[in-house]
């Protein structure tokens, strides 16, 4: 076969793959932090509109600042918008935890469950023809029979069995080779996690290894979904908490999860997390090469947790059979709208915004390298604007050292590696130089073959 014939053959294969691909969509909504007592001064803890300032009126639950968690009108507006905008080929919805506001911590379990039930009802009526896959956050009620009954409409019996025990489950798609694994990251949290003991956390590790091994044997591709994923916090804009190199997961859990992701990177088609209240991504490397990626969606609540963002909703586009993520559209709500209107808008499309040909570990690695560029801040400025969900487009408050911390957070999911990266920027740059060459060449070949 001569060169021209081989090129024609490759083009035909690519064309066939593209024409056979079935395109679908899924929503990702996270960190609602619903506050049922949004306008009740006797119950609320620290929301500015209860301090008597007429400049921050929140009549009818409409936000004018970022000191309050989600009101019921805000949740309803998000549900209405998702109902209006989602395409006919919407496959499912990822709902990744922290359903309730931290201001409800002092209230009874019955009140908390009733609030979760109300949100569940809204989502079930919004997505009457789709399954919603919930993950538990650290502000949510622990697994229970009552939660099982509440979410039975979405989860099969096998999933409900493991969910009731530990809050984790897996979903096998009947019409494709895509499997969804929903983890309970609360079991691996570094703080005082509410569990039935360490055995539950250990059981989740064993179960995860078993499910991934089975997926590999069955030639399935996997989405890993949880409230919090591996890596450090960066929502404090390179502050002391970020530079200390800590995340939601305990150091041992973070390291173990990274080891599993590396070991099964060939079957993991994507990772989807919330918790950070910011729009960012994470890369996992194996011997210096990018092998897996995670996309973190911003929160629905406008209340900042160290940094301040606008509410966000995300709609993914993907290949149904393989799980390959093709793009996503990020929507946002400007809560400081002077008219007090609730109006959702498109913030950006991932591939267009960053000029990506495709979404994979290699392309996101190349994007991370552009983010840390000292010669051109344009990509980093875009990243920082997206990180804050357009709460501010002024990026002058983040200097070169701040930008470097963000780069380390994206590329160093291991806590100790992150700390080393932050302490020694020159070493971090040099250590990647030799490893970049092979990855860039391979990526160039892939681009050439697909062009």
Closest CA to 226 of 34, 97, 360: 97
The DSSP symbol for 33 reads: -
For 170, the 3-state DSSP assignment is strand
Q: Which helix (H) or strand (E) holds 9?
A: helix 3-20
Q: What share of the chain is helix, strand, coil (3-state, %, to 5)?
A: 45, 20, 40
The DSSP symbol for 94 reads: E
* Long-range CB contacts for residues 339-347, cutoff 8 Å, separation at least 24: 340/59, 340/62, 340/64, 341/62, 342/62, 342/73, 342/74, 342/77, 344/77, 344/78, 344/81, 344/313, 347/312, 347/386, 347/389, 347/390
pLDDT of residue 241: 41
Specify if 357 maps to a domain. Answer: yes
Specify if 161 maps to a domain. Answer: yes
Residue 237 reports pLDDT greater than 50: no
Whichever domain contains 288, its CATH number is 3.60.21.10
- CA-to-CA dists, residue 133 to 9, 148, 343, 436, angstroms: 41, 12, 26, 37
- Read off the tokens for 238: 């390179």
The DSSP symbol for 166 reads: H
Mean pLDDT of 375-400: 86
pLDDT digits (tens, 9 = 90+) for 263-285: 999 999 999 999 988 999 999 99
Q: Which residue has the higher pLDDT, 167 or 390?
A: 167
Residue 361 reports pLDDT greater than 60: yes
CA–CA separation, 80 and 93 (whole Å): 14
Q: How confident is residue 391, by pLDDT bands cut at 50, 70 and 90?
A: confident
The answer to whether 282 touches 413, Cβ cutoff 8 Å, is yes
Specify if 6 maps to a domain. Answer: no
Q: What is the mean pLDDT of the chain?
A: 82
Specify if 3 maps to a domain. Answer: no
Specify if 180 maps to a domain. Answer: yes
The answer to whether 316 touches 26, Cβ cutoff 8 Å, is yes
Specify if 223 maps to a domain. Answer: yes
Closest CA to 412 of 440, 444, 372: 372
pLDDT of residue 421: 92
Domain around 112:
21-450
Q: Which of 63-72, 137-146, 231-240 has the highest mean pLDDT?
A: 137-146
Specify if 52 maps to a domain. Answer: yes
pLDDT digits (tens, 9 = 90+) for 285-305: 999 999 999 999 999 988 765
The residue with tokens 């993950």 is 135
Residue 36 reports pLDDT greater than 90: no
Closest CA to 70 of 94, 95, 98, 93: 98
- Read off the tokens for 437: 């060459």
CA–CA separation, 243 and 237 (whole Å): 10
Specify if 149 maps to a domain. Answer: yes
Residue 152 reports pLDDT greater than 90: yes
pLDDT digits (tens, 9 = 90+) for 409-446: 999 999 999 999 998 865 544 444 444 434 433 433 44
Residue 9 reports pLDDT greater than 80: no
Residue 235 reports pLDDT greater than 60: no
Q: Which helix (H) or strand (E) holds 178?
A: strand 178-182
Mean pLDDT of 50-57: 42
Q: How confident is residue 198, by pLDDT bands cut at 50, 70 and 90?
A: low
What phi and psi, each to the nearest 5 degrees, are found at residue 409? Answer: -65, -40
pLDDT of residue 202: 86
Percent of the chain topping pLDDT 70: 76
Mean pLDDT of 298-318: 85
Q: How confident is residue 10, by pLDDT bands cut at 50, 70 and 90?
A: low
Q: How many distinct structural domains can be found in the chain?
A: 1
Handedness of CA 186, 190, 194, 195 (dihedral sign): positive
pLDDT of residue 24: 96
Handedness of CA 206, 130, 325, 97 (dihedral sign): negative
């Amino acid at each position: 076969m001569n060169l021209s014939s081989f090129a024609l053959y490759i083009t035909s294969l690519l064309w066939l793959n593209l024409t056979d691909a079935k395109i679908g969509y899924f929503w990702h909504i996270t960190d609602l932090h619903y506050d049922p007592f949004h306008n009740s001064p006797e119950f609320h803890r620290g929301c500015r509109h209860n301090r008597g300032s007429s400049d921050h009126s929140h009549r009818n639950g409409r936000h004018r600042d970022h000191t309050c968690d989600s009101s019921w009108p805000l949740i309803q507006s998000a549900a209405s918008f998702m109902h209006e905008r989602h395409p006919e080929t919407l496959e499912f919805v990822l709902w990744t935890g922290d359903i309730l506001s931290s201001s409800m911590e002092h209230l009874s379990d019955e009140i908390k469950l009733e609030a979760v039930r109300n949100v569940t009802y809204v989502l079930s009526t919004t997505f009457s023809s789709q399954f919603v896959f919930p993950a538990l956050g650290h502000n949510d009620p622990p697994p229970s029979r009552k939660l099982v009954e509440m979410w039975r409409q979405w989860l099969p019996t096998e999933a409900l069995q493991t969910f009731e025990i530990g809050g984790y489950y897996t979903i096998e798609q009947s019409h494709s080779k895509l499997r969804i694994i929903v983890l309970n990251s609360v079991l691996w949290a570094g703080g005082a996690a509410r569990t039935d003991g360490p055995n539950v956390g250990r059981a989740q590790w064993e179960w995860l290894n078993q499910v991934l091994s089975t997926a590999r044997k069955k030639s399935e591709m996997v989405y890993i979904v949880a409230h919090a994923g591996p890596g450090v916090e960066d929502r404090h804009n390179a502050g002391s908490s970020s530079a200390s190199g800590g995340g939601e997961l305990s150091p041992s859990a973070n390291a173990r999860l990274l080891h599993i992701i590396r070991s099964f990177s060939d079957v993991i088609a994507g990772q989807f997390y919330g918790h950070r209240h910011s729009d960012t991504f994470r890369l996992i490397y194996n011997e210096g090469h990018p092998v897996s990626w995670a996309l973190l969606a911003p929160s629905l609540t406008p209340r900042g947790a160290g940094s301040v963002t606008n509410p966000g909703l995300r709609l993914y586009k993907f290949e149904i059979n393989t799980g390959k993520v093709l793009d996503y559209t990020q929507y946002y709500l400007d809560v400081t709208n002077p008219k007090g209107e609730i109006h959702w808008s498109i913030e950006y499309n991932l591939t267009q915004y960053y000029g990506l040909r495709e979404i994979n570990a290699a392309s996101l690695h190349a994007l991370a390298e552009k983010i840390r560029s000292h010669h051109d801040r344009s990509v980093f400025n875009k990243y920082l604007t997206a990180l804050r969900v357009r709460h501010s487009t002024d990026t002058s408050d983040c200097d070169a050292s701040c930008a470097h911390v963000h780069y380390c957070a994206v590329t160093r999911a291991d806590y100790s590696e992150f700390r080393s990266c932050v302490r020694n920027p020159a070493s971090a740059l040099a250590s990647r130089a030799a490893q970049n060459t092979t990855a860039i060449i391979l990526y160039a070949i892939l681009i050439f073959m697909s062009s």
